[in-house]
Amino acid sequence: MTTTTLLLEGSAIDDIASFYAEINRVFMAGEDWQLGVSLDALDDLLYGGYGALAGHAAVSVHWRDIAHSRMALGVAATRAWLQDKRARPGTFNLQILDAQLDALARGVGQTYFDIVMDIFAAHPNVRLTTD
């Protein structure tokens, strides 16, 4: 059985928006639509059924220069993302956002990168390798 290998270029990721641009470049090539900037959309994508995962029971994803991505999706990007959500009261739970911001400030909160890695880990059909 042949395994499909996809290559994420970590050096192309400088913030959350460019992370999704890279995800779309790799996973959505040939589709007439793109994923939005959404962790839920990323999770849905990794279940397969469309894009580069369509027709594949399992794939391998190699994330080159992951250290660059880790920094780009680190504390500063995560804080900005949470603060942007916080600026829309009524849409998000402010107590949860405040707790996440507090944890981030104390150095114990999940970064956006950490959340992305958890999402990949939740999909055993997607084997992630890095360098």
Mean of the pLDDT values across residues 49-57?
91
Residue 5 is encoded by which pair of tokens? 């290998």
pLDDT of residue 2: 63
Cβ-contact 68, 15 below 8 angstroms:
no
Cβ-contact 70, 13 below 8 angstroms:
no
pTM above 0.85, yes or no: yes
Mean of the pLDDT values across residues 83-109?
95
Res. 45: pLDDT tops 70: yes
- The string of DSSP codes covering the chain is -PPEEEEEEGGG-SSHHHHHHHHHHHHSTT-SS---S-HHHHHHHHT-SSGGGTT-S-EEEEEETHHHHHHHTSHHHHHHHHHHHHTSBTTB-HHHHHHHHHHHHTT-SPPHHHHHHHHHHT-TTEEEEE-
Mean of the pLDDT values across residues 67-78?
98
Residue 113: band (very low, low, confident or very high) from pLDDT cuts 50, 70, 90: very high
